[in-house]
Each structure stands twice: as C-alpha cells, then as structure tokens.
Structure 1
Amino acid sequence: MRIHRLDDVPRRRIEAHDSIGFDLGALGVTADAALVVVRVAAGGRIGRHPAAGRQLLVLLTGDARVAGYDGMPVDLAPGEAAEWEPGEAHETRTVGGLTALVIEGDVDLAAPGHHVDPGDV
C-alpha cells in the first residue's frame, strides 16, 4: 500500500482561458484517462474552455460554482461532482477556494447522475 498526499503532487500554474489562482498536478494516467489534482485559490476561477474528453470534477474541499455549455451556474458541495461531455464549454469558480480531483478521458460512469441543462444529452 502507498499513501498519496494530494498537497505533495507537483503542480503548475495555469493562466490560460483567463483562469485566476488555478494550479494542477498530474496524479496519474491510464491508457484512457488522466487523473489530476486541481486547486483554485479563494476568488479564483478555471476559465471557460472546451473539455478535451469526458471530464468529471469531484469536489473534495471548499466551494465550487460550475457551469456547462449554457453558462448557467450550479453550486457544488464537497462530495459532489460535475460531469462535462467532450467538447462541452465549461468553467469553475470559487469564493473560498477549492481542491478537486479531475478525471478526464474515456471514462464510463456507473451512476447516471441527473441532467441540469439540455446540453448534456
């Protein structure tokens, strides 16, 4: 067994797409998906951009306001996740800061979740 501290994952700052206070670190990869640790500082954002593949943002700590193709914001609490389809424009904002795990790529999710906008059909 190995224990991984998410705070110890090497990170790099991302400023693309008008992002503010956003850094990420690669936790691992498979042939089909990337596992990434994301942090966004208080008042920061991951700017609007298209998902490279199916993307799941799992909020671990903090607060997140996410939006998909239509730009309508939805608040997430720790333990909740947002899913975006390949190519779907999306963004994430935070008031107090957040840490999240992002899984992106060819991933089939067991739980169907619920649709919050007509773009994810």
Structure 2
Amino acid sequence: MRILDLTDLPHRPIEANGSRGFSVGAFGLSADAHLVSVALAPGGAIGRHPAVGRQLLVVLAGEADVSGADGSTRRLSPGQAAVWEPGEQHETRSATGLSALIVEGDLDIGAPGEQVDPGDI
C-alpha cells in the first residue's frame, strides 16, 4: 500500500481563462482519464472554460461555488461533487479557499446510490 498526501504534491499555478489563486498537481493518469489535485486560494477562481471530457470535481475541504452551461451557481461542501459533460462551459470559485479532486476523461458516473459496476463489490 502507498499513502498519497495530496497536500504535499507539487502544484503549478494556472492563470488561463482568467483563473486566479488556482493551482493543480497531477498525480494519476490512465489511457482514459487523469486525476488532479486542485487548490483554490480564498477568493480564487477557475475561469469559465469548456470541459475537455466528462469532468468530476469532488470537494475535499472548503466550499466551491460552481456553475455549468446555464450559468446558475450552486454551492458545494466537502463530500459533494459536480459533474460537467464534454464541451460544457463551467466555472468554479471559492470565497474561503478550496481543496478538491478532479477526475477528467472517459468516465461513467452514476446517480447517487447507483452502482456503476456492481460486480466489483
């Protein structure tokens, strides 16, 4: 077993699409998806941009104000996630700061309580 401390990952700042206080640390990659640790400073933002593939943002600490194609904003707390579809314009902001996990790529994401692959239990 290996233990990953996502807070110790080297992060690089991202300023594209008007982003501010935003940094990422990639730590996993497959042929179909990649895993990224995300940090937003208080008042930080991931600027509005299209999702390259299906994208899952899971809030680990802090709060996120997220929006999708329709522009309406929802607040997420730790343990909540947003899913954006390929090509969907989206944005993430945080007044208080945020740590999150992003998984992007060819993903099958079920509804809450739905088993995507019940054979793995």
TM-score (norm 1): 0.91
What is the match of residue 49 of structure 2? Answer: 49
The separation in 1 between residues aligned to 2:99 and 2:93, in whole angstroms, is 12
Larger Rg: 2
Q: Offset at 1:9?
A: 1.1
What is the match of residue 73 of structure 1? Answer: 73
Tell me the C-alpha RMSD between the 2 structures.
0.7
Could you list the structure 1 runs, at least 4 aligned residues long, displaced by more than 2 angstroms after superposition.
Answer: none
Count of equivalent residues: 112
What is the match of residue 112 of structure 1? Answer: 111
Q: Gapped runs of 5+ residues in structure 2?
A: 113-121
Q: Gapped runs of 5+ residues in structure 1?
A: 114-121
The separation in 1 between residues aligned to 2:8 and 2:69, in whole angstroms, is 33
The separation in 2 between residues aligned to 1:85 and 1:69, in whole angstroms, is 9
The separation in 2 between residues aligned to 1:52 and 1:77, in whole angstroms, is 24
Asked if 1:102 is matched to 2:102, the reply is yes
The separation in 1 between residues aligned to 2:7 and 2:16, in whole angstroms, is 22
- Percent identical across equivalent pairs? 59
